[in-house]
């Protein structure tokens, strides 16, 4: 079931959302100082391509630098990526088949707002 949801996700919204994260990552990597933001953006792009069966977990070693980085990320890139998830989630929830995908989009909003200090981990059954 996860594979089917991931394929539908990829076609309907995953590609475009991942593209947004890749663009943000490239911009961050070009501005040398913001490379950690770019790496986080590339990590989330992979998650946005194939999200079902994986989840985000807080990293125990994250501290004040992650908090400060998340505040900067929120102001610069996080809000428009979260807006993309909201718009896509609402559009997907219009149809019965798209409701699980829309819920998946809404679950990705927190990580699009505050990506630093988190890891992508497999979901345990």
Q: Place 125 in a pLDDT band, splitting at 50, 70 and 90.
A: low
| pTM of the model as a whole | 0.83
In sequence order, which ranges of 31-63 are alpha helices (DSSP H)? 35-49
Domain housing 111: 2-122
Under 8 Å between Cβ of 10 and 67: no
Under 8 Å between Cβ of 116 and 68: no
Question: Sign of the C-alpha dihedral, residues 13, 18, 23, 27?
Answer: positive
Number of domains composing the chain = 1
**Cα 108 off chain centre by:** 5
Short-list 26, 21, 4, CA closest to 78: 21
Span 82-124, pLDDT tens digits:
998 999 999 999 989 889 889 989 988 998 898 888 888 888 7
Span 21-66, pLDDT tens digits:
899 899 989 988 889 889 989 999 999 898 888 888 888 887 888 8
């Amino acid at each position: 079931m996860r594979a089917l949801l991931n394929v539908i996700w990829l076609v309907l919204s995953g590609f475009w959302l991942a593209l947004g994260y890749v663009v943000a990552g490239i911009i961050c990597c070009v501005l040398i100082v913001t490379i950690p933001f770019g790496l986080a953006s590339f990590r989330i792009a992979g998650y946005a391509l194939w999200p079902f069966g994986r989840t985000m977990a807080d990293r125990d070693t994250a501290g004040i630098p992650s908090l400060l980085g998340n505040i900067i990320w929120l102001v610069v890139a996080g809000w428009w990526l979260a807006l993309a998830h909201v718009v896509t989630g609402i559009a997907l929830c219009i149809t019965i088949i798209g409701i699980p995908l829309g819920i998946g989009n809404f679950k990705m909003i927190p990580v699009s707002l505050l990506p630093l200090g988190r890891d992508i981990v497999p979901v345990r059954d």
